[in-house]
């Protein structure tokens, strides 16, 4: 069982917006602004999309945005495109003995 | 351009040992914390271990604690993972990943290697 909880799947049509949630506890998501999001296409390495809850690395489309409320972080993708279809993982720093945790991953399908 | 190239993944019997390597280039290696992350084929990501820039601080996932040892050689810009007492459930792609910031290990991973497959099977 993953430390952070994500929905197994979400879907949306091209041009629409979708949001993926990532729920943790006060020891991780809720306690620190160190949530990051990763996109992974089949057979490829993960790619950083969002870090520090809301920041986008250089080169990542501004269609991707992050937010947090309490123990739940969210990744929003606006103007869905076919190439956004991938698995998405959240990750957070945690104050436990294992300082980093991942969510179980969410499969995004672009209809 | 940051490059991380893992090697060492093979088929190994349960109870066996293996050492993975990760060759880094394109950044000042000894400024950054480095991580190992693994992924069972078709499953999610699991953080495995991290080592601070100077090697003084190391952390492990509970699932590998006492069996795996992370190390680094800053002179060779290389990261390692010594894996002992391997179990079938250790079968996975193993990725090395660079921390986002040059201080601490709080922020996450901004560069990843292509992964190396470790298969534990008799």
Question: In chain B, which residue's Cα lies nearest the Cα of A94?
Answer: B106
> 3-state SS of chain B: helix, strand, coil percent to 5?
5, 50, 45
pLDDT in tens, A66-82: 999 999 999 999 999 99
What's the count of helices (H) and strands (E) in chain A, helices before strands?
0, 9
CB-count burial class (<10 Å; 0-12, 13-18, 19+) for A26: exposed
Q: How many CA atoms lie within 13 A of A13 on its CB side?
A: 0
pLDDT in tens, A17-71: 999 999 999 999 999 999 999 999 999 999 999 999 999 999 999 999 999 999 9
pLDDT at position A2 over 80? no
Q: Is A12 in CB contact (< 8 Å) with chain B?
A: no
Q: Is A88 in CB contact (< 8 Å) with chain B?
A: no
What's the gap in Å between the CA of A101 and the closest CA on chain B?
6
| Contact present, B88 and B121 (Cβ < 8 Å) | yes
Nearest-angstrom CA–CA distance, B8 and B58: 21
pLDDT in tens, B38-88: 999 999 999 999 999 999 999 999 999 999 999 999 999 999 999 999 999
| Contact present, B114 and B6 (Cβ < 8 Å) | yes
| Contact present, B113 and B5 (Cβ < 8 Å) | yes
Which residues are paired to A68 by β-bridges? A73
Provide mean pLDDT across the span B4-21.
97
Chain B contacts to A (CB-CB under 8 A) = 35, 37, 44-47, 50, 59-62, 95, 100, 105-115
């Amino acid at each position: 069982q993953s430390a952070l909880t994500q929905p197994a799947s979400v879907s949306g049509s091209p041009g629409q917006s979708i949001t993926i949630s990532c729920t943790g506890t006060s020891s991780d998501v809720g306690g620190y602004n160190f949530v990051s999001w990763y996109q992974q296409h089949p057979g490829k390495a993960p790619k950083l999309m969002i870090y520090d809850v809301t920041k986008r690395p250089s080169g990542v489309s501004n269609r991707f945005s992050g937010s947090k409320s309490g123990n739940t972080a969210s990744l929003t993708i606006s103007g869905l495109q076919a190439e956004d279809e991938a698995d998405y993982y959240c990750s957070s720093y945690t104050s436990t003995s294992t300082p980093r945790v991942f969510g179980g991953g969410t499969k995004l399908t672009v209809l | 351009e940051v490059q991380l190239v893992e090697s060492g993944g093979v088929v190994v019997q349960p109870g066996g040992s293996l050492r993975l390597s990760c060759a880094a280039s394109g950044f000042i290696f000894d400024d950054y914390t480095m991580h190992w992350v693994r992924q069972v084929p078709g499953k999610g990501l699991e953080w495995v271990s991290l080592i601070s820039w100077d090697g003084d601080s190391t952390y492990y996932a509970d699932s590998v604690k006492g069996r795996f040892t992370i190390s680094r050689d800053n002179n060779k810009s290389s990261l390692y993972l010594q894996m002992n007492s391997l179990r079938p459930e250790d079968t996975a792609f193993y990725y090395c990943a660079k921390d986002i910031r040059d201080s601490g290990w709080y922020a996450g991973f901004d560069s990843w290697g292509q992964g190396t497959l470790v298969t534990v099977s008799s």
